[in-house]
Amino acid sequence: MHWADFRAQRLRDRGTPQVIVSGITPSGEFHIGHLREILTAEMIHRACLDAGLESRYVFIVDSMDPLRRVYDFLSEDYEQFIGVPLAYIPAPNTDGTPSNGETSYAEHFLNPFLEALKEIGVFPEIVMNHETYENGQFSEKIDLAIRKREEIREIIMRVSGRELPEDWFPYSPRGPNGSMDGITVTSYEYPHVFWVDENGVSGESDIRRADGKMPWRLDWAARWIIHGVTCEPAGKDHGAAGGSYDTGIPICELLGGSPPDKIVYEWIQLKGMGPMSSSSGVTIGPMEALSLVPPEILRYVIARSKIGRHIEFDTGGALFEMADEYERLLTMPDEGEITKRMRTRIDTREGALRMSQVVRGSDPLESFAGVSFRHLAMLAQIKSSDEEVWQSLRKSNHISGEPSRSIISRLSKMRSWVESEHFPETARINIQTEIDEKTRSEISDNQASFLRELSANLGSCEWSENSITDAIRNSIKNSEITGKDAFSGIYLAILGAKHGPRASSLIAEIGKDDVLAILSVI
């Protein structure tokens, strides 16, 4: 059984409508790591629907979280906003200076991410957490938390092993400049929390408005109750012993709720570079990933891995593997006696394919391209026009008639991949501009004389694939060379390799002048 279906089965036991939630702090550019947070939850949501359960998928944006520090991409001007919720800070301009504030910091980073989500078929209900504070939905839980502050303080200290000060208070009011830093609570009387700042300025915060927020560990537990959350997969940072999941569960119960089961997912790493981090530049954005990888394959990357396994995201050679594996699964026949193990395996991969579809419920076969990534990569490099690619694919019986939507999309992604730095060098077709010594030594006398013959024939030939094919054929006839040797000679001269794409296509695409220039030095 696929992990998403397994979770759905467990959730069925709760008996309530399912509310599957993701939560992310929009403190900077989103990266593909966030995609695992989103897709893990969204796939469980889809599995619930598939199982006939009532389910909603909600993306809670942590827009009430404060700016922690001035990140590298921000100008010093942001110093003044430290401690202020991201919803109330102006978005940065491209140079890192604060903008006029038409768009908030939170929205600035969130919006492009939501666009990317559409492309992979994810349409969450969006909850901006600061609005939940603004409209007073948190007030009852804040009031309760303040009254039970001793018990909560005890839970956090016991479970997390952290020491909290005697005067710890489960609510952080925002001071005169909107920041939560440096504010000391002096007293509470519903609905007001009274405080004093570092300069002795005092004021009051109305807990029914966004005048402050609960600290993370409480905020999380409280929102589970407010939104009726039944499932919220969290990154492994929250899953550590004594982490926020462990404190959230008893705090949620104390506040009168029924917490979700603890689900912890592993992180995505960039191939060979460890965990992603925006500050170290080890990052790849969802939009960048989507420009290279077809959406269903990107979903498949998440769907195929169990929640607890870390994923090595590799935009190089492994992507061929991944895409071909996807294609293969689509057409894999189930033969012979079905043992229990085989049943499990088939169910799991069927689930992974189902979860990978951009449109829920669509037939995975509709996403079948019918051409391997490797082959398409080659064609994309030697055919500059899409139409020529389709012609070639018809000729090789990969497709018949008009290209499918899915393969058109594949080719367009393939073209960006080929042009990007991520495309693996081993798959790149490098046209030689000159013949180096090593290659020259590999070309036999036979091949050399064949190539000279070919060069002469090409020089007088019409530049079309058919004529070029004829030229090659005639040259072989006139040279007393085997077809095999002839072709490997061509590839050695043009590519510096013994194999290559169909020679006539390759030569046609390179152009007469360049081909003759290469062959002239034989």
To the nearest 10 degrees (0 to 180), the angle between helices 216-226 and 149-160 is 110
Phi, psi (degrees; rounded to nearest 5) at 193: -105, 125
Name residue 196's beta-bridge partners.
184, 202
* Binding region for RNA (CB under 7 A) out of 91-99, 205-213, 228-236, 285-293: 228-236
Q: How far is the CB of 116 from RNA (least distance, A)?
A: 15
Candidates 48, 234, 289, 468; binder of RNA (CB under 7 A) is 234
Pairing outcome for strands 184-189 and 192-196: antiparallel
* Binding region for RNA (CB under 7 A) out of 96-104, 206-214, 370-378, 444-452: 370-378
Site for RNA in 487-506 (CB under 7 A): 487-488, 495, 497, 499-503, 505
* Binding region for RNA (CB under 7 A) out of 151-159, 191-199, 253-261, 387-395: 387-395
Phi, psi (degrees; rounded to nearest 5) at 12: -55, -35
Candidates 118, 395, 420, 517; binder of RNA (CB under 7 A) is 395
Of the candidates 400, 395, 377, the residue with the CA atom closest to the CA atom of residue 466: 395
Q: How far is the CB of 429 from RNA (least distance, A)?
A: 5
Residue 83 sits in the site that holds RNA (CB under 7 A) = no
Here's the x/- map for RNA, 99-128, by CB under 7 A: it reads as ------------------------------
Residue 243 sits in the site that holds RNA (CB under 7 A) = yes
Phi, psi (degrees; rounded to nearest 5) at 311: -110, 130
Q: Which is nearer to RNA, 91 or 208 (CB)?
A: 91
Tell me the HSE value of 168 on the side-chain side, using a 13 A CA sphere: 20
Candidates 139, 348, 409, 432; binder of RNA (CB under 7 A) is 348
Q: How far apart are the first and last CA of the chain?
A: 60
Here's the x/- map for RNA, 179-218, by CB under 7 A: it reads as -------------------------------------xx-
Residue 321 sits in the site that holds RNA (CB under 7 A) = yes
Please name the residue ranges forming H helices in 304-361.
318-331, 340-356
In angstroms, how far is CA 203 from the centroid of its own chain? 44
Q: Which residue bears the tokens 């462990």?
A: 246
Residue 155 sits in the site that holds RNA (CB under 7 A) = no
* Binding region for RNA (CB under 7 A) out of 34-42, 183-191, 197-205, 449-457: 34-42
Largest pairwise CA distance in the chain: 101
Site for RNA in 445-484 (CB under 7 A): 469, 472-473, 483-484
* Binding region for RNA (CB under 7 A) out of 80-88, 113-121, 340-348, 441-449: 340-348
Site for RNA in 427-446 (CB under 7 A): 429
Candidates 154, 309, 359, 365; binder of RNA (CB under 7 A) is 309
Output b/e per residue, 126-142; b: 16+ Cβ within 10 A: ebbbbebbbeebbbbbb
Q: How far is the CB of 405 from RNA (least distance, A)?
A: 21
Count of Cβ atoms closer than 10 Å to residue 214 Cβ: 24
Distance CA 350, CA 228 (A): 31
Q: How far is the CB of 426 from RNA (least distance, A)?
A: 8
Q: How far is the CB of 183 from RNA (least distance, A)?
A: 17
Distance CA 58, CA 81 (A): 28
Distance CA 113, CA 122 (A): 11
The secondary structure element, H or E, covering residue 194 is: strand 192-196
Q: Which is nearer to RNA, 208 or 250 (CB)?
A: 250
Distance CA 447, CA 443 (A): 6
Question: 260: which 2 tokens?
Answer: 């979700």
* Binding region for RNA (CB under 7 A) out of 31-39, 76-84, 116-124, 509-517: 31-39
Site for RNA in 1-20 (CB under 7 A): 1, 6
* Binding region for RNA (CB under 7 A) out of 143-151, 288-296, 343-351, 357-365: 343-351
Q: How far is the CB of 332 from RNA (least distance, A)?
A: 8
Phi, psi (degrees; rounded to nearest 5) at 123: -125, 80
Please name the residue ranges forming H helices in 128-274.
129-134, 139-147, 149-160, 216-226, 236-239, 244-254
Q: Which is nearer to RNA, 266 or 366 (CB)?
A: 266
Q: Which is nearer to RNA, 60 or 208 (CB)?
A: 60
Here's the x/- map for RNA, 268-287, by CB under 7 A: it reads as xx----xxxx----------
Candidates 107, 288, 366, 485; binder of RNA (CB under 7 A) is 485
Q: How far is the CB of 388 from RNA (least distance, A)?
A: 10
Candidates 176, 242, 459, 511; binder of RNA (CB under 7 A) is 242
Q: Per 3-state DSSP, what percentage of the chain is helix, strand, and coil (rounded to 5)?
A: 50, 10, 40
Question: 414: which 2 tokens?
Answer: 């393939």
Amino acid in position 383: K
